[in-house]
Structures are given as C-alpha cells and as structure tokens.
Amino acid sequence: MESKQIQPEKEQIQNDRTTIRLPMLLGLTLAGGVLLGASFFGGTKGLNNIGRGYSKYKEILQLIENNYVDSVDTDDLVDFSITKMLEKLDPHTAYLNPVDAVAARSQLEGGFDGIGVEFNIYKDTVYVVTPLAGGPSETAGIQSGDKILKVDETPLTGKNVDNSTVYKAMRGKRGTDVRLTILSKGQQQPRQITLTRDRIPTYAVDAAYMVDGETGYLKVNRFSDSAFEEFRTALNALKQQGMKQLVLDLRNNPGGYLDRATNMADEFIDGNKLLVYTDGKDDRYDRKYFAKTAGQFEDGALIVLIDEGSASASEILAGALQDHDRGYIVGRRSFGKGLVQMPVQLSDGSELRLTISRYYTPAGRSIQKPYVPGQEGDYEKELDLRSKRGEYYIADSIKNDPKKVFKTDKGRTVYGGGGITPDYFVPRDSSWQTAYLGKLYAKNIIREYALEYANDNRKRLEKLPFAEFDKAVNLTDDQLSAMTKQATAEGVTYNAAEFNRSKDYIRTQTKALIARYIFQKSNRAGQNNEFYRIANTSDNTYTKALSLFDKARQLEFGPKQVGMKK
C-alpha cells in the first residue's frame, strides 16, 4: 500500500488519534457515502424536459470555442460547470473527473497496483516505513528506514516532494517495471532496484483480537469490496477462540457499499427482520433489505462503538442493531449521512455520483441531518458546530429533534433526523491533547523515533510473542527525553508543562507504533492487532465499553434497564 500514515491530526487544533483521519474519511463520506451499483438500476427517462437547456449550453460552449479572445480548454469548462451545477443539489451528489474517479474507487476496491510500501515524508525525503508483506518491495529486500531517492527518473527528494508525486511515481499497471534508487541505513552509496508492479491488497478490518478469554474486539475501517468477507473470517476466528461477547468498532468508518453493511447486520440479527429500506422519488430505487441467513453471532452481548466520523453504511449497521435492540451503542453521535448515491461511469471515465434515495432504519428513522441545497459549506461545518456547543464532551448538548421520535422493538426511544445517538455517551478525551503534541506529530517525531527503535531492536523483538513484547518494551523517561531533544533539533520548542500533560499518551502511542513495525510482517490479513492492543489501553471509549457488557445483556429485558447514560 503506497500510503502515508499520518498520526493524530484529525481536527487540526486537537491532533488526537481519533481525529486525524477525519479529513480523509469525510472526503470519502462526502464523495461516496452509501453506494449502490449503477447496474442495480435500469432504464432512463426522456430528455424532453431538459432539451432546451442542453441546446443553450451547447450553443454557449460552441461560441466560446470559436470566438473567445483567448484559447481555452473547453473540457475544463465543462467539468467546472458540472461541479457548480451539482452544488445546487444535496451535499453528496458529486462529479469526479477521470483521475479523481479512479482514486475514489480505489478507496473501496480490494486493492491497487503498485510496489507495496508504506512510506513517510520526513526532512524532504521519502522513507520506507515498512514493505507490505508479500509485495514486490518485500520480495526485493527493501527494508524499513530505506530512503527512496528516485523512481525511474523522478526525484523524490526536496521541498517539492509530496504525497501525490510519490503516488504517481510508484503506482502503475501491474506487470510494469519500475526502477527505484534506494539508500539504506549505514550505506554510503545508493543502489538501484527494478521491481515489477503487482496487485497490492487493501483491507477493511484493522483489528480482530481477544481482549480476554471471552471478549472479542473487531474494528472495521470501511465497507469496501472485501469488507464482508474479511469481517466474516475475523468473526469466525474470534468465535473459535471462545468469544462470547464482542466490541464492534465503527468509529471513523465513513461508509461504503450498502450490501456489505446489511450482510454484516445479518450476522447479528436473527429471523427475517427488516435491516434498512430506501425511498426515492423514483420507485425503481425503493428497496427493502431483510435478514436472510443464520448469522454467526445472533446471541451474545454486542457493543458497537460510533463517533462523529461514523457515517452512511456505518449508520445503517448501527441503526439496525439499535432498532432491533441487538447492539448497545456506545460513543458519540454519528455523522448523519442518510442519502444513497448511484455511481454512474461516464463515457470519458469520469463519474457522476447521483443521490437517488434516502435510507431509513427498521424503525423508520431517516438519519440524514438537515441541509440546505446549495449551501454545502454550512453542511460541512456542522461538525464544528457540534464542537462549539460542547456536544463532544456533554451528552445533554446533543440536539435531537423532538418531533422525530421513534421506538425500538422493545420500546426504547430513539431519534431520527441527525445521525445515530448512542445509548451510552462517552465524551472525547482531551486531557492529553496539547499544542506541543501536535507539533511532534507535524514533524513526524513520534513516528520516526518508533521506527528507529524498532529497527535498532528488531532482531531481539521479532523473536518475542506479543505478551513478552508487551512486558519487554517500556519506554523510560530518559528515552522520552531523547525524543524531545530530537524534536528540539527539528525546531519544536520544548514545553515542559505540555509535554508532561501528554507524556503518558506519547509513551503509549510510541510503543503501539513500535509494535506495529515489529509485527506487521506477520499480519498477512492486513490487521494491526498488536498496535490496537496497546493503543486501545489509552482510549477512553474503548475502556469504558469493556465495562458495559451488563448493559448490552440487559437489552433483551426492555427499556427499563437500558437507556441513554452519560
């Protein structure tokens, strides 16, 4: 995976681990959301109603092409005009040019063609964080810490190098060759390696491990092509290890394909219960989805973690579980994305993602938050408004519409019209968030220290099972001091008070990253279990959830025992 992993940076001010992915994830949410394949629908309506407008538009383009004083690219004009036209509709209908369409689809496909490295740009240089297991780079012997100086004739050093430059250079059609100029640690002269690009898988399940003898943890990062198969395999593996209760983590999951979400819901919900339905202006797009198979985990306590980054397909799954009193929802109110897009590939490779219906949970809730057509900017700022009114920290700040009250199967009150409100609210933990920590992440100090530590101790640590690794790696205050000195050398002014406030978090995150670098080669299913085993210990939503299984088990007894808590 040619990817630049950027730790805590989600809301630029807070720089916490739960917030770093939000810009990327919201981009996926706003451009994609819940997707239904275009082949799922058929037929078109006549163009009589738009014929006059089309003729006018064509006439204006022709006049510009023939008579405008300067040369213009009419293709650019067309793209711009389409984009501006769609802004008059809902915030999720979108036009993607051919390049952007390929990039957006790759987010939900099961992989891409490339050389198989995770990289990081540090000091104007591209470093290999890790070669991905089984990929061309690992096969060629590329190591963590290697510098990639050049790809073919494209230099990858200097102030102008950025992610897009690296992606463009490394990715390409499978079977094609690419020549890398590599400088390894301890070597004076670079060497050249020729690789053959191959298919690099991407994964939807970040982690699946046993917390204790009966509690499983499973984190899904998106509802991509391969998401359900990965999920089902992981769920089965946990059951084989004796799982009796499960934490399903959907935080910062922006959505994806609708049927992956309903298939997952079917693994938890028995009988032939309704899971979700869609309703649009055209009844061709009206569908109802029901449970239809005997799921792997229809019995057993289930806790689902959500937050403001959980959107679309995540809300379908969480909403179905909540409405049928099958899962206890923990965290913060979800994004509120309840519009369904049909992706239509156009003749030149561009794509129109057209909103064709709304989806509703089994109880009849529309989770779509309010929006004003043509005011997409205000819509995108809605998460900032939640922050300003204190919703991330105080449950009573959640503004549910009292006119949109619904009941679950057992009579519990739930709300529509603005995301999924959790059954148990857990505030965002900002106790460790400081400006100094943000600067450490901005300079990649924590990542680089963890990578150097892993490389310096790799031979010893790779021999250890995780339990022994967990005991053996405990960063001392002297080691953290060395990190801050490195940061000072990189221009980050030391702030003792802020460092002490963030110190425990820094220690945990650094150790988690070290675990990731040490164990990643053994995680051939794409999971980062060792990273999350450590990182989750400082996650207040996760740790609180582990204490709430009694609440989850009480769901079967109805609303008197279970309600919104804070």
Q: Which residues are designated catalytic?
A: 312, 323, 337
Distance CA 496, CA 484 (A): 10
Neighbours of 93 (CB within 10 A): 20
DSSP H or E segment with residue 366: none
- Token output for 62: 């022709």
Amino acid at 279: D
Which among 289, 295, 292 is positioned nearest to 261, based on CA atoms?
289
Neighbours of 62 (CB within 10 A): 11
- Token output for 241: 């290890």
Distance CA 231, CA 237 (A): 10
- Can you list the positions of beta strands (E) in 9-137? 34-35, 94-96, 111-114, 117-122, 125-131
* Rama region for 201: left / alpha / beta (φ>0; ψ in -120 to 50; rest): beta
Nearest 5°: CA angle at 181, between 175 and 183? 135
**Chain centroid offset of residue 203 CA:** 11
Amino acid at 249: D
Contact between residue 303 and residue 247 where contact means Cβ atoms under 8 Å apart: yes
Amino acid at 420: I
- Token output for 358: 């709304």
* CB-based burial label for 79 (10 Å; 0-12, 13-18, 19+): middle
Nearest 5°: CA angle at 458, between 453 and 460? 115
* Structure-derived torsion over alpha carbons of residues 416, 420, 421, 422, reported in degrees to the nearest 10: 150
Amino acid at 415: Y
